[in-house]
Every structure is written in C-alpha cells, then in structure tokens.
Amino acid sequence: MRIWHFSQLFFVVTFILCLTVLLKKEGMECNCVDSVQKREDFEEQLLQRSKGSNTCSPQSFSVRQDVLGVLHIPYNYLLGTSGTGKRFLTVGISSVERKKQNYLLETIDSVFSHLNPEELEEVCLVVFLANQDQSLNLNMARKIQEKFASAINAGLLIVISTSFQNYPPLDNLKRNYNDLPDRVKFRSKQNVDYAFLVNFCANLSKFYLMLEDDVSCAHNFLTKIKMSIESQRTSWTTITFSSLGYIGKLYHSVDLPKLARFLLLFYDEMPCDWLLDHFYRSKAQQEMIRIKPSLFQHMGTYSSFQNSHNKLKDKEFMEVVEKFGDSPPASCFTNIEAYLDHVADNVCFVGPNFFWGKDLTPSSHFTMVFQKPINIEKVTIITGSADHPGDVLRSGYVQLGQQKVTDNGHQTCKDFTNIGDFHSGVFSNNNINNPMGGNIDCLKVHVSATQEHWLLIQKVGVWIRK
C-alpha cells in the first residue's frame, strides 16, 4: 500500500515538472515570435517614415549649395553695392587700422590710377574693413567716401565689414611653431579676415585678385594679368604676380567658396601665405605659377602686427618709369629667340624691362598687336642700351598693320604699310599722316639683314592722335 502511494506521488510530481517545462518552452517560443514581429514592424515604420519625410530629400539639400556654395555670413555694406552684372576681375583688400601710418587710401588710389578707362570697366575693388572696433571701420569708410566718391557711384568700389561676433575663438589657441600668443591671435584673425573677404567676392567676377592694404601697382596690370591667363596651357588654381606674402595672388572666382572654407578650417594652424600653398597643392597644382616681373610692390614701412618696422620689398617689381608714349594696351610676340626672361611682352608694359634676342636673319620680326584699333600720330623705337650699345638693329624697317588675323597661334595683321627705316639703331616718325595712321591694329619691326650682334629693344613709344 505504501509502495502504491509512493508510485502515485512520483507520477504526479513528474507530470507536473514535465508540464511546467512544456509551458515554459511554449512561452519562450511565443516571446521570440513576438520579438521578431515587433522588429519587423519597427523597420517597416522607419521605412515608411523615411519615404514620407522631407528632412533629407534632394529638394531641400544640395551638396553644391549647402557645402560648396557661398557661406551665409552677415556683411555690413558701408559703401557701394554689388552690381547685377559680373566683371572680369575683382580686387580684394582686407585692412585694419595701423597706429603709426595707414596706407589703404594710397593703395586704392594706386589700383584705380594704374588702369586705363577701358580696364576700369572690367574691375571691381572690394575693401573689407576688419577692425574689431566698428567705429574705426566707420571712420575709415568716411575717408574713403571723401576721396573716392566717383568710383563708389560708378560701382567700382565696395566697402564692407562684419560683426566681430561672427569670428571663431581667437584666444587660447595652439602655439604652433612656438609663436607667442599675440602672434597666434593676429595670424589666426587674419586668416578669418581673408576668408570673409573671398567669400563675399565669390559671385562678383570671373577672376579674383588678392592684394594687401599697403601696395603699389604697375601700369596696366590688368592687361598683363589677362595675357598671363591666356598663356596658360594647363588648368591652374593660383597664379602669383608678386613674390611677397598674400600680394598679387589670382584665383578663379568659382574656387573662392572652397578657399573661404579652407582658411576657416585651418585658421589657427599657420599663417595665410602658408595656407595658400597647401590650397593650390590640394587642388593638384604642383607648384606656384610665378609671373615676372612682379606687378605689385609692398610700400608699407610699418607692419599691421604691433606696428613693427617692415622694409620688405619685391626685388622683381616692375618699377614705374617716365612714360614713353601713350602705352596703348597691346601684346607682343616675335620669332627671334629670347635670352632668359627678356621676352617680347616686356616691351608692351611701362617699366625697366626690355626684349633681348639673338640669331637675327632677314626673316626675323617683332610684332605688337593692339587690343583696339588706334590712330597713330607718332612712333619712336629705341634699340640697344648703355650696357649693351652694340645690340642695336643695324638694318630694319617698321610697318603699321590693319585687319587682325591669326597666324601660327598668334594674332597679327593681314595688310601692312611701311612707314620708315631704322637709322643707327633708332626709328622715329613724328608725323604719320592721318589716313596711314588711322585704325591701326599692329606695329611690326622687320629685320632686313643678318647681324652677328644680338638685338635689344629698349622702348617702343606710340603716340595716339588726339
């Protein structure tokens, strides 16, 4: 009897245990099914939400507009306004107050006074006043208004500023290169100044030229810049027309938003002239394209950093010399082999440079092609120099040409008329009659005999009939 009760009890306990295990197993299986279903439902909700959301749709986000476009920096228009039409070149200058001597007004005057009327129509000058104290910016704007009112009214000059609240932190920055904190702050702010300036200028013109606020310019610098652009046979990011700092650096305006971001990203790392080297290399330009002679000269003697003394000069600047003729904008080419950098174009610009070539034959020529037809009254051409008196043109003549054509990649003229010969290395015709001198497109120097001496063309003076 006891044995039966024990067997019965064992059976009951075993049944209960088995039933419990089965129930737990079924519960676990049900929970897994529920979890899978919940995950699938959640993923479906996310999919439906992404389809119905406009947060990241192409209509509201554009890589070019939002990442590569112009930064939305709030600017203060102090003088002038942006025009509707794009010009060929924008010249940008960032300026801060100097305690000992300011050069900004002289720099603005140098830009405008070294462009002819035709060139002025293609240029816009933007001055960014970057003083933290807005009263200094307003005071300088008043001085600019007093001296350059006509340029402002003509849309040639724009003066802007922005609030210092828009700047990133300038204190307690890294002391790279063991620079003192004041130096780090100065160069970091300067990077931001330039970033804000180029960003503003991005849509004003086809090309952009950076100057500093203490430079002087060469005559007709725009014509030289144009010719340098046309002579490039490969893609480029930066061309420099000065060996100093951030002076005379030329960019495509389409690259300015990228340059602005580049300067802002690394504003506290290094000086701006170092950053610009990294910028053009990052765009696969292997080395700086340097145009000589320099078109811009540093004229300041007191630096904007702590007003320290600074006599830095560009030794390759094309110094302004006494004007010889009316210097109409032109380009020059020749089939005579040039010596070193004494190329034909040196003759087309006011300065101490000259053309120096060798191996002259009766087929040799030197041709000047004017940008626009001119009415010539007088021509004087001087060959040789005090240092090289033997390198004169011993036998040759001069022609005036009309009707431009292209020959072997160069512009020249279809019809030429002789106007006289060289004598003792000099050509001079002081009274070219009106019919012969009217609507002239070219001036050509012909070599008429082989000579052992080289040829140095020092000056070509062209006077236009008034």
Can you list the domains of the chain with their CATH numbers? 76-298 (3.90.550.10), 330-464 (2.60.120.260)
- Are the C-beta atoms of residues 239 and 229 closer than 8 Å to each other? yes
Q: How far apart, in whole angstroms, are the C-alpha atoms of residue 290 and residue 292?
A: 7
Q: Is the pLDDT of residue 24 over 80?
A: no
CA distance 306 to 58: 49
What is the arithmetic mean of pLDDT over 131-148?
94
Output the pLDDT for position 17. 54
Quote the CA–CA distance of 217 and 124 in Å, as a whole number. 15
Q: What does the pLDDT average to over 162-173?
A: 91
Q: Is the pLDDT confidence value at 239 over 80?
A: yes
Per-residue pLDDT at 271 exceeds 60: yes
Q: What is the C-alpha separation between 258 and 279, in angstroms, rounded?
A: 9
Sign of CA dihedral 363, 404, 401, 441: negative
E strand or H helix at 367, and its extent? strand 365-374
Model confidence band, residue 324 (pLDDT cutoffs 50, 70, 90): confident
Please answer whether residues 348 and 332 qualify as being in contact, where contact means their C-beta atoms are separated by less than 8 angstroms: yes
pLDDT in tens, 364-406: 999 999 999 999 999 999 898 767 878 999 999 999 999 999 9
Look up residue 385 and give its amino acid.
S
d(CA 273, CA 191): 9
What are the pLDDT digits (tens) for 220-233?
Answer: 789 889 999 998 98
32 falls in which pLDDT band (50, 70, 90)?
A: very low
Q: What is the pLDDT of residue 300?
A: 57
Strand ordering across the sheet containing 123-129: 76-79, 157-161, 123-129, 87-95, 205-211, 249-252, 238-240, 289-290
Residue 6 above 90 pLDDT? no
Count of Cβ atoms closer than 10 Å to residue 293 Cβ: 20
Tokens read off for 237? 């990011």
Contact 376, 465 (CB under 8 A): yes
Q: Where do the DSSP E strands lie in 241-325?
A: 249-252, 289-290, 296-298
Cα separation of 11 and 26, whole Å?
22
H helices, E strands: number in the chain? 10, 20
Task: Please state whether the predicted TM-score (pTM) of the whole model is above 0.85.
Answer: no
Contact (CB, 8 A) for 355 and 457: yes
Residues 356-365: pLDDT tens digits? Answer: 999 999 999 9
Give, for 39, the enclosing helix (H) or strand (E).
Answer: helix 2-52
pLDDT per residue over 275-313, tens digit each? 988 999 999 999 999 988 888 888 755 455 445 545 677
Instruction: Judge whether residue 136 has pLDDT over 60.
Output: yes
pLDDT of residue 289: 94
Cα–Cα distance for residue pair 196/194, rounded to 1 Å: 5
158-172 mean pLDDT: 93
> pLDDT tens-digit profile of 50-67?
555 444 455 567 777 777
Q: How confident is the model at residue 254 (pLDDT cuts 50, 70, 90)?
A: very high
State pLDDT tens for residues 79-116.
998 877 889 999 999 999 987 778 899 899 889 988 87
Of 247 and 67, more confident: 247
CA distances from 334 to 201, 327, 366, 446, 447 (A): 38, 19, 5, 10, 11
In the predicted structure, residue 465 carries a pLDDT above the cut 50? yes
pLDDT of residue 15: 52
Please answer whether residues 396 and 445 qualify as being in contact, where contact means their C-beta atoms are separated by less than 8 angstroms: yes
pLDDT band at 7 (very low <50, low <70, confident <90, very high): low
Gap between the Cα atoms of 446 and 289, Å rounded: 33
Query: How confident is the model at residue 408, as a pLDDT?
Result: 83
Residues 236, 157: Cα–Cα separation, whole Å: 28
* Beta strand residue intervals within 3-162, DSSP E: 76-79, 87-95, 123-129, 157-161
pLDDT above 60 (res 76): yes
